[in-house]
Amino acid sequence: MPHDEKSPTKLESLSTSLSDNSTRGGKQVWLTTPAPIKHLFNRFPLRTYTANELPLRDPPDRKKNNLYIFTDENSAKLELPSFNPGCLKWQAYLKFLGIQFSIVPSNNHASPTGALPFLIPSSLMLTAHESSPPIASTNLQRWAQEEVSRRAVKKMLLPDQTENAEKAKSAGQHASDMRHEAYMSLLDCKIRNAWLYFLYLESSNFATVAFPLYIAPCSSSFLVRAALAHNLRIAAKSELLKQSTVIDVESLYMECERAFSALSQLLGNDLFFFAADHPGLFDASVFAYTNVLLHRQLAFSEWRMVEDLSNFSNLVQHQQRIYKLYFEEIKS
């Protein structure tokens, strides 16, 4: 029956009964806390501690913004693009906005949200005992745009840098644009689905690319690696089966190729998407996939996605353009 405030619950009735028994006959019974223990807890009351801080194997520079992504130590020092599309999207976008940050190699287990990327803002204005809360990827765009606005107000940027940052900021603001939403769905669904199969479920690609990038760095134990590999492939398979009862490999690749074609038509002869004169968030989202497929020369054994993408010359040029503008100079 529904709980009625006028009638006691079973738990309340039991509590009342025990309370009556504890003082029955004017004598204390077994439910009464012994005096020595009561005295001990009075002197040392229970305390709830705050959540642990992020584990710091090698504390980064707190004066800088630190972006935690999938990468290796050497690539982090050289500020090379991440091999993970989800991380590279935000790595590129922050660069478009002219926000200075350091790269910290990480993994999902070290993330406060259980996923990468995340960013810990500079603690320059905080005390030595304070730290900035981490920014999850879902909040990175808002934080980045607010950061650009703050820096512009404080005149921390040179005039040309401020102008470029504002252009990148406005280039990513298509939330109300139905075309933007439709084309973004091509990346989030069609291309991502093909990528999940291409990297994790194509056995040869998993062995030569996914395993050394995502599994091997986590542990040297054969059993641990085997378990991680199994779980990773099962997760990718489950993600694909959410959208279909069976995984039709040919259909996945064909849908991906159609998505590449649609993006190619959208870009046309423009330098950046939506005819912007500066790359924005959508450009970063496309670059996240095209750069991983085209530039890093990963040891793919199955090249279907790479070959399909290579057929669209303007998408290839878009990837090369962004790499040269924002990554090649740093590498050199």
Q: Hey, is 246 helix, strand or coil? A: coil
278-332, pLDDT tens digit by residue?
Answer: 999 999 999 999 999 998 778 999 999 999 999 999 999 999 999 999 998 655 5
pTM of the entire predicted model? 0.77
Contacts of 244 (CB under 8 A, 6+ apart): none
Residue 20 has pLDDT above 70, yes or no: no
Q: Please, are residues 272 and 280 in contact by the beta-carbon 8 Å criterion? A: yes
The pLDDT of residue 110 is 81
Cis peptide before 2 (omega within 30 of 0): no
Q: Across all residues in the chain, what is the average pLDDT?
A: 82
The pLDDT of residue 47 is 63
Q: Please, are residues 66 and 102 in contact by the beta-carbon 8 Å criterion? A: yes
Residue 19 has pLDDT above 50, yes or no: no
Measure the CA–CA gap between 300 and 199, rounded to whole angstroms.
9
Per cent of the chain over pLDDT 70 is: 70
Measure the CA–CA gap between 83 and 103, rounded to whole angstroms.
13
- Could you write out the DSSP letters of every residue in 88-150? HHHHHHHHHTT---EEEE--GGGSTTSSS-EEE---TTS-TT--PPPEEGGGHHHHHHHHHHH
The pLDDT of residue 76 is 93
Give the helix ranges, DSSP H, for 118-274. Answer: 140-153, 159-171, 178-185, 192-196, 203-205, 222-241, 249-267
The pLDDT of residue 213 is 95
Mean pLDDT, range 186-204, rounded to an integer: 97
Q: Which helix (H) or strand (E) holds 317?
A: helix 313-323
Residue 60 has pLDDT above 70, yes or no: no
Contacts of 281 (CB under 8 A, 6+ apart): 89, 93, 141, 171, 172, 174
Measure the CA–CA gap between 290 and 296, rounded to whole angstroms.
10
241-277, pLDDT tens digit by residue?
Answer: 998 999 999 999 999 999 999 999 999 999 999 999 9
Measure the CA–CA gap between 73 and 148, rounded to whole angstroms.
28
Residue 6 has pLDDT above 50, yes or no: no
Instruction: Kindly state the tokens that stand for 222.
Output: 């054969």
The pLDDT of residue 17 is 40
Q: Which residue has the higher pLDDT, 176 or 73?
A: 73
Mean pLDDT, range 24-44, rounded to an integer: 60
